[in-house]
Structure 1
Amino acid sequence: MFSVLTLFLQCLKECHGLPLINGQNCDPFATVSLVGPSRNDQKKTKVKKKTSNPQFNETFYFEVTRSSSYTKKSQFQVEEEDIEKLEVRIDLWNNGNLVQDLFLGEIKIPVKVLGSDSFQAWYLLQPRDNGNKSSKNDDHGSLRLNICYAEDYVLPSEYYASLRNLLLKSSEVEPISASTAYVLAEVCRDKYDAILPLVRLLLHHHKLVQFITAVAELELKDTQEANTIFRGNSSATRCLDEMMKIVGKHYLKVTLKPILDEICENPKPCEIDPLKLKEADNVEIHKENLRYYVDKVFSTVVQSSISCPTLMCDVFCSLRRLAAERFPNDPHVQYSAVSSFVFLRFFAVAVVSPHTFHLRPHHPDAQISRTLTLISKAIQTLGSWGSLSKSKLSSFKETFMCEFFKMFQEEEYIESVKKFLDEVSSTESKEPSVMSESVHLKEGYDLWRPYESATSNSICHEPPCSDLVREMYKRAQGRTRIGKKNFKKRWFCLTSRELTYHKQQDKEPIYTIPIRNILAVEKLDESSFNKKNMFQVIHVEKPLYVQANNCVEASEWIEALCRVNKCNQRRLSVYHPSAFLNGNWLCCKATSENTVGCTPCTAGVPADIQIEIDGDRETERIYSLFALNMAKLQKMEEACGSIAVYQGPRKEQDDYSNFKIEDSVATFQTLQQIISAAEKLDEHHDRYRKKRSSSAKYGSEENPIVGKIS
């Protein structure tokens, strides 16, 4: 049993009486931070123009884990925290546009004083001790907000089995709108409440791709025009957004962080809006600076397909297929379906707000923020497949951006985008555009540096010496004894089409495995052959077992093979970490050689960012959302029952909260199951609370003292 505290700054509502700046109303915005000894999470509101009484009405969420209650790190790498030392800090700033932002005032609220019930109050803004940034006015104005926290008590795993199974089977329900996961997203007023724990849970259990595919297909049924594909704020788009934030962190780090560091630490002037230029500014130099940054970011992105996480590739592949099926006469929709996410909702967002993706420690100042905004706009446009035709230049909202984009009227940009999207969303049946011969192995080359062949798109990893891979055993199954003679020295060559191995350098391969036939590439337990640094290439025949010279080479081979194979839709989700010897699998003791694997494959996430998600923790959060919306679920159930039984006129839409009921019978059954599972969890929680209040000693770990003793 442990507890999770979710802090809801339910609404940063408004400010009143902010000071004038140079006799005029300011352009205020707020930064909202949760600050403690081991964290400083910061979020930012939108800028409100020319007002001393801004209306923000924005919501923010922070999640922490009670001290001594949870031993793992979350996927956000938040360790156990002492809530007594946490505080919410809200800073008000005047947007300086091209100069430094001006501090207006702040409030600080210790988390320990908050109750579980929400409350709304006005706070007087206070000056900051830092004299060089504080306002000179005595009256800093006031701020109104609504703030609370919710604390979830997570029960042992077996208590969540019923609700968890309903959620995990959602992608199998037809129609998907009658599934538990879909109902969850629809029943919550703010989709963010539901989508984040749902994505984490489905990701943890390897069910996310199937669910996103199903809800995307449902959304496409209602999409009438190809140019509006995936542009709304639906369950499908929100799921994908959250998935990319979680899974794509490392991808952004290896692609964007170096260039963003350059822009932020050594900025060049890039303003090209005539209304924002100063007299001494040279617009042509600014254009060249902006062009340099845009080209560098763009080239980095379109050359990064090999680093794109496998899970993202799987989803992009599904979106591409669904879009092509929905609009078969539009040749560009298969690209726009993917670019609408990878460019518009991933890279462009990360460029304009690098601090929210942990690419920069703080939000940039006004001048750098403006540069990043211009770069982001350019990347969005370059990434929109087919949008660079001359007939579409007039569609730019700003004339100066239209003029700037005349510098990009080269076919190579469009072709680069198309090639990149092909690489991150290719299907199994798609053959390489160039059918090339295998590149043979030679001595003297840098071992792990992939390069583009002059005559092909092949990726070749060439060893510097003859002892790259000492021994290989390719047919272990069915043998009762493993001897030294079964291991042979071999040379390997990897291209984008196949893996080959050779007896000697520059000789014809003795065996070839097409990349499309590789089902998984994983480490092999040392206990299998009493040898270190081994990995296995599982393909349509029997596994190929390989021993590398050292652990570094083994890891690099695994990574290289996984990257070229990540768009193979036949990849396995589970595997056997040991060999099949003496009539059974050494790992799970299964006696059939064809038994399904016993361990989840690891190739979906880069090895250096293992995402730890606690499924019980996420299921508890989902249960609490269902419990909070129980009245709404019961109204839906009543509406479904009346439709299914009488087939008469539906009740007013408000009676089931704008819920789209495609199949009343299936939805009714799902709602009954959700309500039943939630009620059982209610009983378990009530039983726990009674036991805790009656048996736990006041002041113990199970029943700590809250607040100060007077």
Structure 2
Amino acid sequence: MSERVDLWNNGNLVQDIFLGEIKVPVKVLRNDSFQAWYLLQPRENGNKSSKTDDLGSLRLNICYTEDCVLPSEYYTSLRNLLLKSSEVQPISASAAYILSEVCRDKYDAVLPLVRLLLHHHKLVPFVAAVAELDLKDTQEANTIFRGNSLATRCVDEMMKIVGKHYLKVTLKPVIDEICESPKPCEIDPIRLREGDNVEINMENLRYYVDKVFREIVRSSISCPTLMCDVFYSLRHLAAKRFPNDPHVQYSAVSSFVFLRFFAVAVVSPHTFHLRPHHPDAQTSRTLTLISKAIQTLGSWGSLTKSKLSSFKETFMCEFFKTFQEDKFTESVKKFLDDVSSTESKEPSGLSEPVHLKEGEMYKRAQGRTRIGKKNFKKRWFCLTSREFTYHKQQDKEPIFTIPIKNILAVEKLDESSFNKKNMFQVLHGEKPLYIQANNCVEASEWIEALCRVTRCNQKRLSFYHPSAFLNGNWLCCKATIENTVGCAPCTADVPADTQIEIDGDRETERIYSLFTINMSKLQKLEEACGSIAVYQGPRKEPDDYSNFTIEDSVATFHTLKQIIDTVEKLNESHEKYQKKRSSSAKYGSEENPIVGKVS
């Protein structure tokens, strides 16, 4: 006789979700000291037969992957090998690039690779390196970054990770309006239903496209720093590759931010968490038309007459004749300048300072060397697109002004500095400005707002001091020189929630698993590099590695040897860990749970 225990998730707004069940013998429950871990099992229907309506059938293809993540020190060699990939010459001989080459599906490699590089602040140089390799094979400027290469997939994955909040603040309000108060927008004569008015539909579609487009081109100030840095690199590389084409620096960026980011989010808002569910058929069709329009408007120079004549759908060509070419092209140009420049600029189309945030907080007097309550004064803070100021009271003249271009970093401050919570610091070349917000939410909002508006400052710091300089030394690293370089890497390049979500060891373990699965390919590639380096003759067995990129056989061979040696050492570590687990971990413990139902 046994008791059944079911586990459900009631966090879903629609209905509870069954997660699994276990069966525990009643006799063990009589023992007050009984404790054990069980693996959840699928629901058991028994031998009861139930008559239900035929609801159809669904075929699933499920892939289950189990990774055993070892302590961090076990991954040091493999992690370092991957993180130094951007420094390897040529980039095709790097461990990260080889990973993408040996995996059948590049996406399997890109997902953990981007997360790992992002977590360790190594993504931008790697993307620049693989993009430069990508451009070597690009013969025409109008096809730049249009394929599914390692470079484009890395940028796509990066935008999905760091651009979540950007999409939310930019598109969610207008997407909600379209989904919750839909207007008919069908302009395809074949799809029109009886009673539809194509002119009204075109006006509705034009209204939505105008609104989405306007929100995008005004959103540059919200674009994450990391995205801006990547776009700047792509723009620079494209201009270098095609020096005689003045427009390629814009199309290199628009091919990502418009075609592969905003347009995709518009057509599938549920996949970017902009909507809770897939939209209905009519709304989905409206979003598809808007997405097509955004892609076209965002393509640099796409509104020329020659481009209009190349539309596959005649109705779309007619629709775009209503757009003023110069107005939209200039808006796109200004937006792309803003998100891919190294200079701090005003938001698109705005010449006056933009008011971004204001509120009352506490400021610590600058230059004070001792801790004391009197050092903290209540002040009114104001942030615009040009300056950050504080005042004695609202509507009073500012006491102190920091130009936005002078801000070097904005970071949290350790609570231990002044025994106060919710503090952050603004570094600007003089004494650090220490500020205490009223609560943790307010502190995060101010840090985010200040980071957004200063993201393009050329002299941004890479390192900072998490604590204050008091009584002759930095509390964090004990350095005695006040202007010494910081002891911790700045975190403003990556949103805080991204850092929390990424487990570097977990991603390294996933990459190790991929190398293990593809060990035979690694060995064949190593043999190919060896034969090329030694004999400089024709490649043997071309079918085995003809699709691999081998620019430098010696450098690639060297990296492959390091990868294989590192993976083999990790194999040994995994085997030792599994043996130790099976021999020492108690059956029924968290490390060695009970598998299957106990009757």
1:332 equivalent to 2:247? Answer yes
Q: Secondary structure at the match of 2:66?
A: strand
Identify which range, 522-531 or 613-622, moves more after superposition. 522-531
Residue identity in the other structure for 1:84: L
Q: Secondary structure at the match of 1:297?
A: helix
| Aligned counterparts of 2:9 and 2:241: Cα–Cα separation in 1 | 52
Residue identity in the other structure for 2:253: V
Q: In structure 2, do the counterparts of structure 1 residues 559 and 403 end up closer, same or farther at CA, with 3 Å as the change threshold?
A: same
| Aligned counterparts of 1:196 and 1:248: Cα–Cα separation in 2 | 15
1:542 positional shift: 3.6
C-alpha RMSD of the superposition: 3.5
Identify which range, 678-687 or 589-598, moves more after superposition. 589-598
Q: Give the aligned partner of residue 92 of structure 1.
A: none
Q: Check whether the contact 1:472–1:490 (CA below 8 A) recurs between aligned residues.
A: no
Q: Identity of counterpart residues, as a percentage?
A: 78
1:37 equivalent to 2:29? Answer no
1:405 equivalent to 2:320? Answer yes
1:84 equivalent to 2:40? Answer yes
Q: Check whether the contact 2:331–2:349 (CA below 8 A) recurs between aligned residues.
A: no
1:566 equivalent to 2:455? Answer yes
Q: Check whether the contact 1:696–1:702 (CA below 8 A) recurs between aligned residues.
A: yes
**Of residues 366, 371, 382 in structure 1, which corresponds to 2:281?**
366
1:250 equivalent to 2:165? Answer yes
Q: Check whether the contact 1:452–1:458 (CA below 8 A) recurs between aligned residues.
A: no
Q: Check whether the contact 2:38–2:595 (CA below 8 A) recurs between aligned residues.
A: no
**Of residues 561, 565, 568 in structure 2, which corresponds to 1:672?**
561
Unaligned runs of 5+ in 1: 1-34, 41-63, 68-80, 88-108, 111-126, 434-449
Identify which range, 631-640 or 643-652, moves more after superposition. 643-652
1:458 equivalent to 2:353? Answer yes
| Aligned counterparts of 1:249 and 1:461: Cα–Cα separation in 2 | 20
Q: Secondary structure at the match of 1:571?
A: coil
Q: Give the aligned partner of residue 650 of structure 1.
A: 539
Deviations 1:458-488 (A, max 9, x none): 2345868xxx565453446xx5x56789878
Q: Give the aligned partner of residue 445 of structure 1.
A: none
Deviations 1:481-533 (A, max 9, x none): 56789878877665544546689999998876543432211233344345565
| Aligned counterparts of 1:359 and 1:463: Cα–Cα separation in 2 | 27
Q: Secondary structure at the match of 1:153?
A: coil
Q: Check whether the contact 1:639–1:655 (CA below 8 A) recurs between aligned residues.
A: no
Q: Give the aligned partner of residue 309 of structure 1.
A: 224
Identify which range, 553-562 or 672-681, moves more after superposition. 553-562
| Aligned counterparts of 2:342 and 2:404: Cα–Cα separation in 1 | 13
Q: Give the aligned partner of residue 217 of structure 1.
A: 132
Q: Secondary structure at the match of 1:535?
A: strand
* Structure in which a larger fraction of residues adopt helix: 2
Q: Check whether the contact 2:39–2:596 (CA below 8 A) recurs between aligned residues.
A: no
Residue identity in the other structure for 1:524: L
Q: In structure 2, do the counterparts of structure 1 residues 146 and 513 end up closer, same or farther at CA, with 3 Å as the change threshold?
A: closer
Q: Secondary structure at the match of 2:275?
A: coil
Residue identity in the other structure for 1:419: K
1:599 positional shift: 3.0
Deviations 1:298-350 (A, max 9, x none): 11111222222221111111111111222222121111111111111111111
TM-score between the two structures when normalised by the length of structure 1: 0.72
Residue identity in the other structure for 1:550: N
Identify which range, 543-552 or 220-229, moves more after superposition. 543-552
| Aligned counterparts of 1:194 and 1:128: Cα–Cα separation in 2 | 46
1:375 equivalent to 2:290? Answer yes
Deviations 1:608-657 (A, max 9, x none): 76642111111111001000000100111111112122222233432325
Q: Give the aligned partner of residue 191 of structure 1.
A: 106
Q: Check whether the contact 1:381–1:387 (CA below 8 A) recurs between aligned residues.
A: yes
Residue identity in the other structure for 1:521: V
**Of residues 545, 551, 575 in structure 2, which corresponds to 1:662?**
551
Q: In structure 2, do the counterparts of structure 1 residues 411 and 482 end up closer, same or farther at CA, with 3 Å as the change threshold?
A: same
Q: Check whether the contact 2:102–2:518 (CA below 8 A) recurs between aligned residues.
A: yes
Q: Give the aligned partner of residue 583 of structure 1.
A: 472
Q: Check whether the contact 2:473–2:479 (CA below 8 A) recurs between aligned residues.
A: yes
Q: Secondary structure at the match of 2:135?
A: helix
| Aligned counterparts of 2:382 and 2:121: Cα–Cα separation in 1 | 31
Unaligned runs of 5+ in 2: 1-6, 13-18, 23-36
Q: Give the aligned partner of residue 206 of structure 1.
A: 121
Q: Check whether the contact 1:632–1:657 (CA below 8 A) recurs between aligned residues.
A: no
Q: Check whether the contact 2:218–2:348 (CA below 8 A) recurs between aligned residues.
A: no
Deviations 1:193-228 (A, max 9, x none): 111011111111111112111111111122111111
1:185 positional shift: 0.9
Q: Secondary structure at the match of 2:317?
A: helix
* Structure in which a larger fraction of residues adopt strand: 1
**Of residues 254, 262, 278 in structure 2, which corresponds to 1:347?**
262
Q: In structure 2, do the counterparts of structure 1 residues 679 and 349 end up closer, same or farther at CA, with 3 Å as the change threshold?
A: same
Residue identity in the other structure for 1:170: S
1:584 positional shift: 2.2
1:365 positional shift: 2.2
Q: Check whether the contact 2:242–2:248 (CA below 8 A) recurs between aligned residues.
A: yes
Between the two structures, name the one with larger relative contact order (CA 8 Å, sep ≥ 6): 2
Q: In structure 2, do the counterparts of structure 1 residues 203 and 289 end up closer, same or farther at CA, with 3 Å as the change threshold?
A: same
Q: Check whether the contact 1:499–1:512 (CA below 8 A) recurs between aligned residues.
A: yes
Q: In structure 2, do the counterparts of structure 1 residues 640 and 194 end up closer, same or farther at CA, with 3 Å as the change threshold?
A: same
Q: In structure 2, do the counterparts of structure 1 residues 86 and 473 end up closer, same or farther at CA, with 3 Å as the change threshold?
A: farther
Q: Give the aligned partner of residue 181 of structure 1.
A: 96
Deviations 1:569-620 (A, max 9, x none): 4322332111223332101223444544333433234457664211111111
Residue identity in the other structure for 2:90: P
| Aligned counterparts of 1:368 and 1:506: Cα–Cα separation in 2 | 46
Q: Give the aligned partner of residue 545 of structure 1.
A: 433
Q: Give the aligned partner of residue 473 of structure 1.
A: 365
Q: Check whether the contact 1:575–1:600 (CA below 8 A) recurs between aligned residues.
A: yes
TM-score between the two structures when normalised by the length of structure 2: 0.85
Residue identity in the other structure for 2:576: R
Residue identity in the other structure for 2:96: A
| Aligned counterparts of 2:118 and 2:42: Cα–Cα separation in 1 | 30
Q: Give the aligned partner of residue 168 of structure 1.
A: 83
